[in-house]
Amino acid sequence: MSAEPGGVTAVAHANIALVKYWGKRDSTLMLPATSSVSLTLDAFRTTTHVELLDAPAGRDEVVLDGEPLAGTALTKVLAFLHLVRSQEPRTATAQAARVTSTNEVPTGAGLASSASAFAALAGAAATAYGLDLGRRDLSRLARRGSGSASRSVYGGFVVWHAGDLTDPARGDLTSYAEPLPTAPELDVAMAVAVLDAGPKKIGSREAMAATVATSPYFPAWTEHTEADAAEAADAIAAGDLPRLGEIAEASAMRMHATMLAARPAVRYLAASSLAVLDAVADLRAAGVGAWATMDAGPNVKVLCEGADLDVVAAGLRGIVLPGGGAPHVLLARPGPGLRIEASAALPAGVLASGAAEEPA
Ligand code: DP6
């Protein structure tokens, strides 16, 4: 079989969870313990090109930012390509793929995201192998690469449903992301305070598993998160940013509290993170609507109204961090969903069923 010339390029943006995903109920199918809610950003995007090679599957080549990928990251990508090929009717003769990916994340920002990476890979690989997937199935597929990637298939505010909890096969079919109805007047932005990450901490996948296995707070976390996701969706539909901000900050703090209770504790909060959390509280006390969220690292992301972004950024840049110096601050606004661009050489019909650009 000959390779398709040209290949497929897909672009996906990072998303930041406002109601966090922390914990899986099935780590093979990548089913989350709870639903989560996120905002896709216009910054931090991944562009991924997949072309099929005249070589049998097993001879895949993966290049990230100009360097051959290695280690765990490579293992995850190869497993994902295998998954895509296993869904493809021509499995027996499936060809290897060359994956070339670029992350546009400011150097040293520590924000490289598996969400944009696996959303872009899902779009490019599924299309290159001729899978005719709609958005929902692309989200389910991206989920198998990295849970949060299911949400980067869509722009703006997104919910990722936990899905049917009674049975894994039904869960697999019903755990996907979709865009949330959003009040048109809801104008949000995010300032990211980039802090020194120090020595590399435990990765989110391992940290999540340790939390599920050892944190006595995990059942309480799952119990409250489902209600938080529903309330966040209501706030987004109603255009109620203060309510959304409060839920988002509470969800992030509860997630960190839950992992701090693991044994040994999983701790991403740094002294510099606390300094930023204080500054966000000061901004609120001064009447500026600003709410903090944090993920599996020390950086703090601050949700605010679009019109307040400059004031919030100035507030964050004015912080004196415990070790001296101020945080580097990046600005972001809502961004678009997954975009897939196939070469003209692809068979007709490959882009059917909603694989075209998703408006933000
Ligand atoms: C803290 O999606 O990176 O960012 O599913 O194991 O790949 P895997 O984990 P990942 O975890 C994201 C965790 C988080 C919260 C969130 O994005 O909801």
Please report the pLDDT score of residue 334 as a whole number: 98
Structure tokens at 17: 């969870």
Looking at the CA of residue 32, tell me the nearest atom of ligand 1: 5
pLDDT at 6: 79
SS3 235: helix
Closest CA relative to residue 159, chosen from 111, 230, 264, 246: 230
Ligand 1 near 295 CB (within 6 A): yes
Nearest CA-CA partner of 139 in 100, 165, 172, 101: 172
Contact between 251 and 39 (Cβ < 8 Å): no
Sequence-distant (≥ 6) Cβ neighbours of residue 231 within 8 angstroms: 243, 247
Distance, CA 346 to ligand 1 centroid (Å)?
33
Query: Does residue 315 line the site of ligand 1, with CB under 6 A?
Result: no
| Segment holding 77, helix H or strand E | helix 71-86
Question: Pick from 180, 190, 194: which is nearest to 151 by CA?
Answer: 180
Structural tokens at position 266: 């999983």
Instruction: Identify the residue whose C-alpha is closest to ligand 1 atom 8.
Output: 146
Cα 297 to middle of ligand 1, angstroms: 11
Residue 295 alpha carbon, nearest atom of ligand 1: 1
Q: Which residues, in sequence order, are bridge partners of residue 303?
A: 190, 291
Is any atom of ligand 1 closer than 6 Å to the C-beta of 258? no
> Which residues, listed in sequence order, are joined to residue 342 by a DSSP beta bridge?
8
Q: What is the C-alpha to C-alpha distance for residues 42 and 15, in angstroms, rounded to an integer?
A: 9
CA-closest residue to ligand 1 atom 6: 205
Q: Does 152 contact ligand 1 (Cβ within 6 A)? A: no
Return the DSSP state at 61: E
Residue 197, pLDDT score: 58
Cα(145) to ligand 1 centroid in Å equals: 11
Q: How far is CA 170 from CA 151, 157, 166, 173, 206, in A?
A: 19, 25, 8, 5, 25
Ligand 1 center–CA 115 separation, angstroms: 8
Ligand 1 site, residue 36, Cβ cutoff 6 A: yes
Helix axes 135-145, 114-128, angle to 10 degrees: 120
Cα(285) to centroid(ligand 1), Å? 31
Mutate to test the pocket of ligand 1, among 148, 202, 299 (most ligand atoms within 8 A of CB): 148
Number of helices (H), then strands (E), in the chain:
9, 14
User: What distance in angstroms lies between residue 337's CA and the mean position of ligand 1's atoms?
Assistant: 18
Q: What is the pLDDT of residue 105?
A: 76
Query: Is the Cβ atom of 272 under 6 angstroms away from ligand 1?
Result: no
Residue whose structure tokens are 């899905």 = 163
Instruction: Answer yes or no: is the C-beta of 37 below 6 A from any ligand 1 atom.
Output: no
DSSP letter for each residue of 78-133:
HHHHHHHHHTSTTGGGPEEEEEEEEEE--TT-S---HHHHHHHHHHHHHHHTT---
The answer to whether the CB of 228 is under 6 A from ligand 1 is no
Structure tokens belonging to residue 255: 């997630």
Residues 6+ apart with CB under 8 A from 224: 254
- Tell me which amino acid residue 198 is: G
Pocket test for ligand 1, best of 204, 266, 301 (most atoms within 8 A of CB): 204
**Cα 301 from Cα 207, distance rounded (Å):** 20
Q: How far apart are CA 106 and CA 99, in angstroms?
A: 22
Q: Using an 8 Å Cβ cutoff, are 15 and 336 in contact?
A: no
Q: What residues pair up with 48 in beta bridges, in sequence order?
A: 10, 101
Q: pLDDT of the chain along its 360 residues, tens only? A: 334 457 999 999 999 999 999 999 999 999 999 999 999 999 899 999 999 999 988 899 999 999 999 999 999 999 999 999 998 666 545 899 999 999 997 655 567 679 999 999 999 999 999 998 999 999 999 999 999 999 999 999 999 999 999 999 999 999 999 999 999 999 999 999 999 756 567 889 999 999 999 999 999 999 999 999 999 999 999 999 999 999 999 999 999 999 999 999 999 999 999 999 999 999 999 999 999 999 999 999 999 999 999 999 999 999 999 989 999 999 999 999 999 997 755 444 444 333 333 333
